[in-house]
Structure formats: C-alpha cells, structure tokens
Amino acid sequence: MMNYINDNVRRQDRLLDEKNATDLLHSGEFGFLSMVETDAKGSGAYGIPISYVWDGGKVIYFHCAPEGHKLNCLRDNSRVSFCVVGQTNLIPHEFTIAYESIIVRGTAVLDISAEERMRALKLILDKYSPNDKVTGLKYAEKSFHLTTIIRLDISAVSGKTKRVIS
C-alpha cells in the first residue's frame, strides 16, 4: 500500500482520510503532473494535465509519445508531484468551494521493461476502456513502439477535503 502521510498538511481540520484518498486515486480521471524544467532559458516549474492509472499499490503509470518536453524534464530531474482533484462544488454565496484532493510525491522512472509497459497499458485499458479491451489490446500492440510508459514510484501521499453544508 502507499505511504499515506498527512502530518504536514497545515489545515488538520481538512484531512482526507486514507480510504477516501485511495478511492480518489483509483477513480480520478486525470491529474496534474508537476516537474522541474531545466533548459537553455533557465529552470522553473512545468505542470501538465495527464491521464493515469494507479496499480493499487505504490505505482502510478502514465503513457505518452516517445519524445517531448515532459520526457526531457523527467530525464533531467525525476522527482515529481502529482495532484488529483475529485469532486468540487462552488458555493458562491458562501465564498467557498467544497473539494477533495490528493498530492502524490515520488520518482518518475522511464526505463522499464517491455513486459511492465504492456502490463501498464492493460491497466490503462481496464480503467478507461473496459468494454473495448480486445480492440484496445490490438491497438496497444500495433502502436507499442510509439508509446512511452512513465512509472511514478510513490514515496508519499497526502489529502485534503473541505465539506460544506449549505
């Protein structure tokens, strides 16, 4: 299981319990992957929305093209954070938003075996296209050489929520 640590969350009254955090990590449609970018212009932060799948343990997988800025950033610095936001509810007359979110910290790994890459693609199909797995597997096999899988080894997860009764 993942290392769920809420000790550093400033608002201890808004902690998301571990069960709801794991439910959110399992069911979230996408998250925001945050990286450090280092290039000729200097260094800064770089974040992108990305679909993902959690293996139920200590690993999250992403898939992408075999080249690009994201991969360059990860080659330069493999430490990342990944944020998933669940249900939100804007409550304008109370000047607030009800929400739930988690932040995952960890290390991105680019060099994984073909077997693990295919296992990750099957997990992605299970999550996003469960009714089209046969076609999806054929597509995955056909485009396998054009697909990079990034493994995020989870080191810590924390979560917050704000519940509003109006």
Residues 20-32: pLDDT tens digits? 889 999 999 999 9
Residue 1 has pLDDT above 60, yes or no: no
User: Is 104 a residue whose pLDDT tops 80?
Assistant: yes
Burial (CB count <10 Å: 0-12, 13-18, 19+), residue 33:
buried
Q: What CA–CA distance (Å, rounded) separates 16 from 160?
A: 5
What SS3 state is found at 146? helix
Confidence at 50, pLDDT banded by 50, 70, 90? very high
pTM for the whole structure: 0.88
- Confidence category of residue 82, pLDDT binned at 50, 70, 90: very high
Assigned token pair, 160:
């917050």
Please check whether residue 4 is in contact with residue 23, taking contact to mean a CB–CB distance below 8 angstroms.
no
Which among 72, 67, 64, 66 is positioned nearest to 38, based on CA atoms? 72
Give pLDDT tens digits for 5-23.
666 666 656 667 788 889 9
pLDDT for residue 65 is more than 60: yes
Q: What is the enclosing helix (H) or strand (E) of 163?
A: none
Proportion of the chain above pLDDT 70, given as a percent: 88
Q: Would you place residue 132 in the very low, low, confident or very high pLDDT band (cuts 50, 70, 90)?
A: confident
φ and ψ at residue 17, rounded to 5 degrees: -70, 160
Q: Across residues 41-61, what is the average pLDDT?
A: 90
pLDDT digits (tens, 9 = 90+) for 115-124: 999 999 999 9
- pLDDT (0 to 100) of residue 11: 60
CA–CA separation, 76 vs 35, rounded Å?
10
pLDDT at position 57 is: 92
Residues 87-91, mean pLDDT to the nearest whole number: 85
Comparing 137 with 154, which gets the higher pLDDT? 154
